[in-house]
Chains A and B, each alone.
Chain A
Amino acid sequence: MTAMARSFSRLTLGGKILFTLGPILFLLTIGLVLLIAIAGKPIVDFLATNIWLVRFVVAATAVLLMSVPTAFLIIYMEMKIIALMNLRIGPDRVGPFGSLMSVIHGLKVLAKEDFSPTGADRLVFTLAPVAVFMSTIMALLVLPFAPGLFGADMNIGLLYLFAVSGLSVVGLLMAGWSSFNKYSLLGGLRSAAQVISYEIPLILSVVGLLLLAGTMSLNQIVVKQGGWFWNWYVFQQPLGALIFFIAATAEANRTPFDLTEADSEIVAGFATEYSGMRFGFFFFAEYVNVFVVSGLIVTLFFGGWNAPFPWPWPITLNIDPGSLGLGLLFAILIVPPLLILALAAPFYLGRSSMPWWQALIIGFVLFNLLVIVAITGWAFVSWNWVAGLMVFLGKSYLFVFTFVWMRGTLPRVRIDQLMGFAWKWLLPASLLNLFVTALALVVVNK
């Protein structure tokens, strides 16, 4: 036993992980095989009759899984972009251009002490980050990423989204209340006041759009914006889009409306007493929320997954590799080494100091990149949803960039200015927008 423990301790980190996971995976595989062999037929039958269950589980898992890299990417974007605007370099040590810095941040948060202050309401204190994270994740479910790629196509999708994202304020209020800290309390109350005020112009600004679209299903709204880019609702509802953008900024607690965690006023707001992974949940939720808000803006006003021009999707490439016959085998065997050699040659010939094996490695890497680009391009042109997903993500991250850009530029507004702006300007403007849209519809339809 001791000998085993000693040899285990001699392993590297990767070895330890493999040594632990290997047997578990082995046993799991055997169990799974046995399960399928014994009870495969009834399970498959059950799933086939209840396909919604499969869809739900898959969608929930996918959304949970994608939320983590999304948050990592946006955190990295925030660090790097603001740094570049500040004339700094920003993260540049971990990974290429420091891109793994946010992952390291995540690990750091995991390794920290799970602290809760004396006098805190433990239960509420623990549940608050969960509430915030859940509301954000649930909002991701209805976003249409691409044709056929969404968690659920509800006919009240927009209403659901507003309802669910409004839930996050409950979590923030819980956090502020239970922390036993007045800064947290101020932050929680601020967020409550802010989110409730901005929900109203946020929803009212979309009502005009709903009149035009005639549906609340996000998927249908996107479908109606197909074709050329002037079909996007931003050109029919510019005021609505502006109000929605401003209100969504406040809804996502982003600068200049980031009063809930204004560090120069109330230290860190509702998150003052949080540390470790509880804080990590807040952090993740905030950045996933940025993505949700950006995706929502894109979905509602900027055509969702529609490209700016009618894209002839899908293009069927008439490639039949089988027609090559035996030549296919030769091609698979001969083309990659030849391509690798061809890609390595300029490096070997161009730089006399480079040994042949380094040139070969470079050639191999380039060849792999080439293959990846080729496969992606092929998927892009021949599958509807790949291109749609790319267009959607591209547009969404453009808005994420805008949010980060605003954070790098603008100072923060004051709480009474914030409320005054919502009630005195945004609300009348959104009502005006609604009135004008309705009037225009009446005139046009007559």
Chain B
Amino acid sequence: MSLVPGLGIAKGMALTLKKFFEPKATIKYPEVRLDVPPKFRGRLQLLYDEYGTLKCETCFQCAQACPIECIDMGGVDTKGRYHIHWGAPETYGERRDESALRRSGRPVPNQAYEHFDPIHPDALMAILERFDFDPKNMLHILESTQAEYGHLPVAALKLISQKTGAWYAMIYGAASYYRHLRLEPPSAEPLAAATADARAGRETTFLASFDAALFGGTAPGASHGTAIAGAESPGTAPGAGPARA
């Protein structure tokens, strides 16, 4: 409190008058929306793709990441089964591997808890330099990394995550989603090709039955089948990309 009575009040009044002219902090909500933080753990939502099927692949990565195991799977899985409820939480790790195998057609190592080999980072750093450390170019980064190392080593993925700021889970998800990206050295190629073949066949039948359910059996469902079969023929070059990417 100052010696002159009323000086503190006068100072406060001057401060409010100054703030009167300052830029405002309000965000006009419906017009301007705040960006959700990348780690946002808000509402869970199942999305549908343009064919009306669930985008969720029941890969259980979300269920694994959930700290209090509040996520469980339900709905339709890739085999067309409805309302699946999976067993005890202790078996999540095994189911994740199984599901990843079904999804990507190859065994996926559980890197989170296993030892991984180091890589020489210079080449990767050069690639990252070239793509400006921008997570938006993630697919290009991953493709270049695979071209450089032959496959995507865990150490490389970790380094990419560290340098670009994208999470490891997202990168891992992208790498395991695209079929031309390999998480294993190419020696495992024949096995992967075989499973990919089997998977393509399975998917064609699934889509045909789906179309039959939708259009009553007389529908132009063949176009899907051919498109996917064409894109997934074993001889396709790694850079060609899947039809539904």
Q: Considering the chains assembled together, what is the distance between the CA atoms of A408 and B14 in angstroms?
A: 11
Q: How far is the CB of A284 from chain B (nearest CB, A)?
A: 26
- The reply on B33 being an interface residue by CB < 8 A is no
Residues of chain A from 364 to 415 with CB closer than 8 A to chain B in the complex = 405-406, 408-410
Q: Identify which of A84-92, A168-176, A177-185, A218-226 touches chain B.
A: A84-92
Most buried by A among B22, B24, B28: B24
Q: Considering the chains assembled together, what is the distance between the CA atoms of A86 and B20 in angstroms?
A: 8
Give every chain B residue within 8 A of A405 (Cβ-Cβ).
Answer: 13, 16-17
- Is there an interface contact between A87 and B19, defined as CB atoms closer than 8 Å? yes
- The reply on B112 being an interface residue by CB < 8 A is no
Contact for B26 among A81, A89, A409, A410, CB less than 8 A: A89
- Is there an interface contact between B25 and A410, defined as CB atoms closer than 8 Å? no
- The reply on B243 being an interface residue by CB < 8 A is no
- The reply on B121 being an interface residue by CB < 8 A is no
Q: How far is the CB of B13 from chain A (nearest CB, A)?
A: 5
Q: How far is the CB of B16 from chain A (nearest CB, A)?
A: 4
Give every chain B residue within 8 A of A81 (Cβ-Cβ).
Answer: 20
Contact for B25 among A87, A408, A409, CB less than 8 A: A87
- The reply on B9 being an interface residue by CB < 8 A is yes
- Is there an interface contact between A88 and B12, defined as CB atoms closer than 8 Å? no
- Is there an interface contact between B24 and A87, defined as CB atoms closer than 8 Å? yes
Q: Considering the chains assembled together, what is the distance between the CA atoms of A369 and B24 in angstroms?
A: 30
- Is there an interface contact between A84 and B24, defined as CB atoms closer than 8 Å? yes
Q: Considering the chains assembled together, what is the distance between the CA atoms of A89 and B32 in angstroms?
A: 14
Whose C-beta in chain A lies nearest to the C-beta of B6?
A242
Contact for B22 among A87, A406, A409, CB less than 8 A: A87
Q: Considering the chains assembled together, what is the distance between the CA atoms of A92 and B20 in angstroms?
A: 16
- Is there an interface contact between B26 and A88, defined as CB atoms closer than 8 Å? yes
Q: Considering the chains assembled together, what is the distance between the CA atoms of A405 and B24 in angstroms?
A: 17
Q: How far is the CB of B50 from chain A (nearest CB, A)?
A: 35
Whose C-beta in chain B lies nearest to the C-beta of A402?
B13
Q: Considering the chains assembled together, what is the distance between the CA atoms of A405 and B25 in angstroms?
A: 19
- Is there an interface contact between A406 and B13, defined as CB atoms closer than 8 Å? yes
Q: How far is the CB of A84 from chain B (nearest CB, A)?
A: 5
Q: Considering the chains assembled together, what is the distance between the CA atoms of A85 and B25 in angstroms?
A: 11
Q: Considering the chains assembled together, what is the distance between the CA atoms of A347 and B16 in angstroms?
A: 39
Q: Considering the chains assembled together, what is the distance between the CA atoms of A89 and B25 in angstroms?
A: 8
Q: Considering the chains assembled together, what is the distance between the CA atoms of A89 and B20 in angstroms?
A: 10
Q: How far is the CB of B18 from chain A (nearest CB, A)?
A: 9
Interface residues on B, range: 10 to 19
Give every chain A residue within 8 A of B20 (Cβ-Cβ).
Answer: 81, 84-85
Interface string of B178-200 (1 = CB under 8 A from A): 00000000000000000000000
Q: Considering the chains assembled together, what is the distance between the CA atoms of A92 and B24 in angstroms?
A: 13
Q: How far is the CB of B139 from chain A (nearest CB, A)?
A: 38
Give every chain B residue within 8 A of A408 (Cβ-Cβ).
Answer: 16
Contact for A409 among B16, B24, B28, CB less than 8 A: B16
Contact for A410 among B12, B17, B22, B28, CB less than 8 A: B12
Give every chain B residue within 8 A of A84 (Cβ-Cβ).
Answer: 19-20, 24
Q: How far is the CB of A151 from chain B (nearest CB, A)?
A: 34
Whose C-beta in chain A lies nearest to the C-beta of B13?
A409
- Is there an interface contact between A89 and B28, defined as CB atoms closer than 8 Å? yes
Q: Considering the chains assembled together, what is the distance between the CA atoms of A85 and B28 in angstroms?
A: 17
Q: Considering the chains assembled together, what is the distance between the CA atoms of A406 and B6 in angstroms?
A: 13
Q: Considering the chains assembled together, what is the distance between the CA atoms of A405 and B15 in angstroms?
A: 11
Give every chain A residue within 8 A of B19 (Cβ-Cβ).
Answer: 84-87
Q: How far is the CB of A155 from chain B (nearest CB, A)?
A: 37
Q: Considering the chains assembled together, what is the distance between the CA atoms of A89 and B28 in angstroms?
A: 9
Q: How far is the CB of A414 from chain B (nearest CB, A)?
A: 16
Contact for A89 among B12, B15, B16, B24, CB less than 8 A: B24
Give every chain A residue within 8 A of B12 (Cβ-Cβ).
Answer: 409-410
Most buried by B among A81, A89, A92: A89
Q: Considering the chains assembled together, what is the distance between the CA atoms of A89 and B31 in angstroms?
A: 14
Q: Considering the chains assembled together, what is the distance between the CA atoms of A86 and B19 in angstroms?
A: 7
Whose C-beta in chain A lies nearest to the C-beta of B10?
A409
Q: Considering the chains assembled together, what is the distance between the CA atoms of A81 and B17 in angstroms?
A: 10
Give every chain B residue within 8 A of A409 (Cβ-Cβ).
Answer: 9, 12-13, 15-16
Q: Considering the chains assembled together, what is the distance between the CA atoms of A405 and B16 in angstroms?
A: 8
Also in contact, A410 and B9, with CB within 8 A (given A87-B19, A405-B16): yes
* A and B contact pairs by CB, cutoff 8 A, 13 listed: A84-B20, A85-B16, A86-B19, A87-B22, A87-B24, A87-B26, A88-B25, A405-B16, A406-B13, A409-B12, A409-B13, A409-B15, A410-B9
Taking A89-B26, A405-B17, A410-B9 as known contacts, 12 extra A-B pairs with beta carbons closer than 8 A to each other, sorted by chain A number, are: A81-B20, A84-B19, A84-B20, A84-B24, A85-B16, A87-B24, A88-B26, A405-B16, A406-B13, A409-B9, A409-B12, A409-B15
A residues sitting closer than 8 Å to B (CB atoms) are 81, 84-89, 92, 405-406, 408-410
Which 7 A-B residue pairings sit nearest by Cβ, starting from the closest? A89-B26, A409-B16, A85-B16, A87-B25, A409-B12, A85-B20, A84-B20
